[in-house]
Structure 1
């Protein structure tokens, strides 16, 4: 896997993936686009969400929406690394079983999400969920 990131002016950078997709990053506190650290949170949420949706679909759960709210805590020193990240999944659907959501979230965190598995070597990652009946 390869990517490039190039400076496009001010404190903006354009990241381009090998597959041809682009993302703008803003080093100025996320004023114009996500900062690189905000993008780490978004990537973690995206990776975990893909797993949770896939696992729930395979379990034949009637899910209409999945949202994950991420809360990252960073160190007060430079570099301001993440020290803790909490993921709260909100699963909406009809008759969605709590045991299936718990299993999906656990499997993503402990086995499938490569972003979480990489980060949890240095960051305390926790998760929980709620189910909204449609």
Structure 2
């Protein structure tokens, strides 16, 4: 996997990442850190990527199990250390999974499998952060 980050110039703290798959991701800093608040902070992108990684796993696991999953939303809330390096110290992920006739045990197992075996991002962040999860199932 590769990624190239380019600083967008001396008038701020904006960066553009070009991923190995050819996609662009903009990032910027807060005004108090020299940024102009034009894009997500780099650590927000780490959190968002983690949410995407685990949601991907949950949907894939449920689909492979032939469950009628129709939607998956993950709401993440994170806390960071007060001093440098300001790593994530706690992350809570609330999964809202919708579908028809979803089995609660199967959904909870999919979430657990993601965090114990498949989601590289959450497993990596668990080295510094306590990761907790909750599940809500919505019938559609």
Give the TM-score taking structure 1 as reference length.
0.95
Shift of 1:67: 0.3
- Whether 1:49 and 2:55 are equivalent positions in the alignment is yes
- Whether 1:28 and 2:30 are equivalent positions in the alignment is yes
Question: 2 CA distance for matches of 1:99 and 1:92?
Answer: 14
Shift of 1:102: 0.6
Shift of 1:79: 2.7
Counterpart residue number, 1:12: 14
Counterpart residue number, 2:109: 103
Question: 1 CA distance for matches of 2:133 and 2:39?
Answer: 26
SS in 2 for 1:31: coil
Matched positions, count: 134
Off by >4 Å, runs of 4+ in structure 1:
none
CA root-mean-square deviation: 1.3
Which runs of 5 or more residues in structure 1 are unaligned?
A: none
SS in 2 for 1:117: helix
Give the TM-score taking structure 2 as reference length.
0.91
User: Quick one: which of 71, 81, 87 aligns to 1:65?
Assistant: 71
SS in 2 for 1:101: helix
Shift of 1:78: 2.8
Q: Is the 8 A contact 2:16 2:25 kept in 1?
A: yes
Higher strand proportion: 1
Give deviations 1:62-119, integer Å, cap 9, x for gaps: 1111000000011222332211001110001111110110110000000000001111
